[in-house]
Amino acid sequence: MRCPFGCRQHHRQTSSAQRCAEYYGTLTGRFKKQQHNQRRLRLLGNGAAVVETPLILDNTILRYLQSTLGMIEGRKITGQEIHSILEKQMRQHSLANDKGSDYRDGQEREKAP
């Protein structure tokens, strides 16, 4: 029978964190972590935090969105407006400011007993 308070998952997470800390404390672990970080920085380029890719829309989709949004708003909408709306709506939001709380409800997570 499993604990309803999430003890099993909590134990797995803490054990995993402990194993990682022990491994990266060794000489080979530190070397591998350095290699991993250098590879990640090369992929991001010049230490940039985010690599932005341009939003590419098919002309058919763009025309469809222009006509649909134009009917909804009752005005003519340009392709540039659609691009700016979609870029704003589709960008990835960071969860860095939400550490320590559950993403679903924003409540503080309680530690398992």
Q: With respect to residue 97, please indicate whether it lies within any of the assigned structural domains.
A: no
CA–CA separation, 26 vs 29, rounded Å?
5
pTM for the full predicted model = 0.35
Three-class secondary structure assignment of 35-58: HHHHHHHHHHCCCCCCCCCCCCCC
Q: With respect to residue 14, please indicate whether it lies within any of the assigned structural domains.
A: yes
Name the residue range of residue 27's domain.
Answer: 1-51
Q: With respect to residue 102, please indicate whether it lies within any of the assigned structural domains.
A: no
Residues 28 and 58 in one domain: no
Count structural domains, the chain: 2
Q: With respect to residue 68, please indicate whether it lies within any of the assigned structural domains.
A: yes
- Reported as a single tens digit per residue, the pLDDT across 73-95 is 999 988 888 888 887 777 665 55
Residues 19 and 38 in one domain: yes
Q: With respect to residue 61, please indicate whether it lies within any of the assigned structural domains.
A: yes
- Reported as a single tens digit per residue, the pLDDT across 7-31 is 888 889 999 999 999 999 999 999 9
